[in-house]
Structure 1
Amino acid sequence: MTTSEYDSLRPPEPTGRAKRTGKRRRRAHPPGGDGAREMPVVPEAGFTSYYDRPVVKPAPWGWDVAAYLFLGGLAGGSAVLVAGAQLTGRATLCRNCRLAALASVSLGAVALVRDLGRPERFVNMLRVIKLTSPMSLGSWILSAFSAGAAVAAAAEVDRITGERLPLGLLRRVLRVAEGPAGLEAAALGPELAVYTAVLLADTSTPTWNHAHDELPFVFVSSASLASAGLAMITTPVAEAAPARKLAVLGVIGDLAATRVMHRRMDPVAAEPLHEGRPGTLLTWSEGLAVAGGIGVLLGGRRRPVAATAGLALMAASALTRFGIYEAGMRSANDPRYTIEPQRRRLAARRAAGVTGDSITTAG
C-alpha cells in the first residue's frame, strides 16, 4: 500500500452500510482522478463552434461581388490605357478603351447595386467620407471614376454616330472636357482596381486577411491582364503596342505577386487557395496567364494570335478574382482556418518572450 503526503488532508471515510459489511464499492475515477496526480482541467480544443456555426461571420456577399471585383479591375486598367493612347495619338486604342472603361464600370455598378439589394443603399454610402473605411472611399472612387469615364465615352459615341446626337451647344463643352475627363479617370483607375483588395483584406476572413500585404499587388496585376487582353481583342495590332507591353508587365507582376503571397501566408490560411474549386480556378488562371504572355511575346503582332492571347489573359484575370473570392468564403466557413493560425501566432509570441500583454498569458 502506498501513501501520499496529502492523505492527511483528505476528508474522513464515510460511515455506512458499505463500511459495516466490508463491501464498500469503489467509485470509478477517470484516469488521473484518484488524487495521486494532476488532472487536465480543460480538454484539448477541437475545431468546433457553438451550434456548428463559423468562428467568424462570412461576408454576406454573393457572386455579384466577385463579378464586380473583375469588372472594376477591367475598368481601371482600361482607363490607364486611355491615358497612354491619348498622349501618344492612338485614336482607335483610345476609343476602344474609353468604351471598355465605361461599359465595364457600368456593369460592375449594376452587380454591386444588385448585391446591395436596393439602389438607395449605394447613394447612402455617399453621404459621408470615412477615410478609414475602404468601402466608403471605394464608393467615392467608383463615382468619380464613372463620371470621368462617362464624359470621355460620350464624346466617342458622338463621333461614332457622326455627331448626330442632339447635344447642341453641349457638343463644344464635350470636346473640351473629354481629354481632362479621360485623364481624370486614368488617375483613379489604379485606385479602382486595387481598393477592392484592401476591402477584402480588411475583413476578418482568414485567407483574405492573411494576404493583406500582397493582395493589392495581385489585384492590380490582374487588372492589367484584363484590360490589356480586351484592348488586344478590339484594337488592330498597329495601335495595340501599349496594350502588349502592359500585358507582359501584368503577367510578370501577376506570377510574382501570387508566388510571394502564397509563400508569406500562414500555410493553413493559404490552403483554400490550393485546394478544391478555388485551387482549380487559380491553377487555371496561372496557366492561362503564362499562355497569354507567351502568345503576346511570340505572336502579338499577328491579329489572330493577339486576339487569342487577349482572351486567355482576360480569362486568367477573371479566374484569379473568382478563385480568391471563393477561397476567402471557404476559409470563413471552417473554424480550422481561424483557430490554427491564432495558435501559431500565440506560440510565436510566447517563444519570443512576449507574455505580459492582453494577447498572451504568462506560463
Structure 2
Amino acid sequence: MWTWEVPAYFWLGGMAAGAYVTASLAHGFGSADDRRATAGGYYLAAAALVPCAPLLIADLGRPDRFHHMLRIFKPLSPMNLGAWTLTGFTPIAFARAASHAAGTGLLRGPLGALARLVPTRLAELAGCALGLTLAGYSGVLLAATNIPLWAKSKLLGGLFMASALASGSAAVTLQAARRGAPDATLHRLAALESAASAGEIAVLAGYLTQSGRTARPLTRGRFAAPFWLGAVGAGAVLPLLLHRLAGGRRGRALQSLSAVASLCTIAGSLALRWSIFEAGKDSSEDQSASFELSSG
C-alpha cells in the first residue's frame, strides 16, 4: 500500500517543476527586475528536489528497486518514466542553480568556474520539459491503477500539472515578495499564478465531472473538508481573490497580500494531492464505484 511519502513526493516534485518553469519564463521573457526577483526559483527547485528521490525510494521499500527501474527506459510505463524524469531533471536544476550562483558571485573557485560553463538557455529548455513531465506524470501514474477515483477521469495528470505550476509560481512569488521585489514584477507574478490557479480550477471541474459517482469519497466522504476547504477554497479560490485585491496595491500592502496568497496556494497544492491520494484508498473499497469504473 502506498504511504504518505507518495503525496509528499508529488507535491515537492510538482512545486520544483513550477518554480523552475516560472524562473525560466522570467529569464526568457521578463525584464531585468523580473530576472533578478525570480532567480531564486532555481534555488527553490533544487531545494524541493533534494528529498524527492529519498521519498520515492522510501515508498518503493528498497533502493535497488529505484536502481532497477533505471536499467531499462520504458516511456510507456508511468513509474519508469517518472524515475527517469526525476533522475534527469534533478541534475539540470542543480546545474542551473549553480550557474546563477556563480554569475552572482555566490559560488566561486573551481566549482564557480565549472558552473559558468553551463549552457543556461539549453538547461532552461530541457529543465522545463522534464519539469512539466515530472509534474504531470504523477497524475498519470495514479490514473494507470484500478482505483476508481484515480482511474475514471483522464484529467488527473493535467490537474496535477496545473496545480504544480500554481504552487511553483506561488513559491517564487513568496520569496520575491519577502525580498521586496518591484511592484511591477509582483503584479506579473500574480498574473501568472492566477492563470495557473484558474486553469487548475477548470481542469478540476472537468475531472470531477468525468469521475462522476467515483468522486464521492473525495467530495462527500471524510476527506471532503480538506478537499473543498483546503484544496479548492483556501488553495485556489482565496488566492485568486487576494491577488485581485492586491491588483491596485503597492509597496508593503502588495507584498503582504502576495505572500499570503502564495502561502495559501502552496498549502492548497499539498491538500489537493493528499486528499485525492487518501480518498482513493476509500474509493478502492467502494463496490459501486468499482462497478462504474469497470462498466465504462
Q: TM-score range by the shorter chain?
A: 0.7 to 0.9
**1:117-174 residue CA offsets vs partner (Å, 9 max, x unmatched):** 2323212111111132111111111111112101001123345664435427524424
Higher helix share: 2
- Of the three residues 257, 265, 271, the one matched with 1:319 is 271
Instruction: Letter of the 2:260 partner, please give it.
Output: T
Q: Where does the alignment leave 5 or more consecutive residues of structure 1 unmatched? A: 1-59, 347-363
Aligned residues: 281
> Where do 1:187-202 residues align within 5 Å?
187-202=129-144
Instruction: Give the structure, 1 or 2, with the largest relative contact order (CA under 8 Å, sep 6 or more).
Output: 2
Q: For residues 127 and 243 of structure 1, what CA distance do their matches in structure 2 show?
A: 40
One-letter code of the match for 1:105? L
Q: How far apart are 1:207 and its partner, in Å?
A: 0.9
Q: Is the 8 A contact 1:272 1:328 kept in 2?
A: yes
Alignment of 1:261 onto 2:207: yes
Which shows bigger deviation, 258-267 or 308-317?
Answer: 258-267
Once the two structures are superposed, residues 216-250 of structure 1 have per-residue CA deviations (whole angstroms, 9 ceiling, x without a partner) of: 22112211221121111101442334421221112
Name the CA distance, whole Å, in 2 between partners of 1:148 and 1:132.
Answer: 23
Deviates more, 1:153-162 or 1:180-189: 153-162
Q: Determine if the alignment matches structure 1 residue 137 to structure 2 residue 78.
A: no
Q: What is the percentage of aligned positions where both structures have the same residue?
A: 32
Distance 2:172 2:45 in 1: 11
Residue in 2 aligned with 1:297?
A: 244
Amino acid aligned to 2:20? A
Q: Which has the larger radius of gyration?
A: 1
Q: CA 1:172–1:157 in 2, change beyond 3 Å: closer, same or farther?
A: closer
Q: TM-score, normalised by structure 2?
A: 0.87
Task: Give the match's secondary structure for 1:167.
Answer: helix
User: CA–CA distance in 1 between the matches of 2:288 and 2:242?
Assistant: 41
Contact conserved, 2:173 with 2:258, CA < 8 A, in 1?
A: yes
TM-score norm. by structure 1 comes to: 0.72
CA deviations on 1:235-273 (whole Å, 9 max, x unpaired) are 144233442122111221122221222222231x11111
The alignment partner of 1:240 has SS state of: helix
Q: 1:325, 1:173 → 2: CA distance?
A: 41
Moved over 6 A (4+): none
Provide the alpha-carbon RMSD of the alignment. Answer: 2.0
Residue of structure 2 equivalent to 1:277:
222
Matched to 1:72, the amino acid is G
2:71 aligns with 127
* One-letter amino acid of the counterpart of residue 283, structure 1: W
Q: One-letter code of the match for 1:196?
A: S
- Contact residue 231 and residue 240 of structure 1 kept, 8 A: no
Q: 1:105 aligns with which of 18, 24, 49?
A: 49
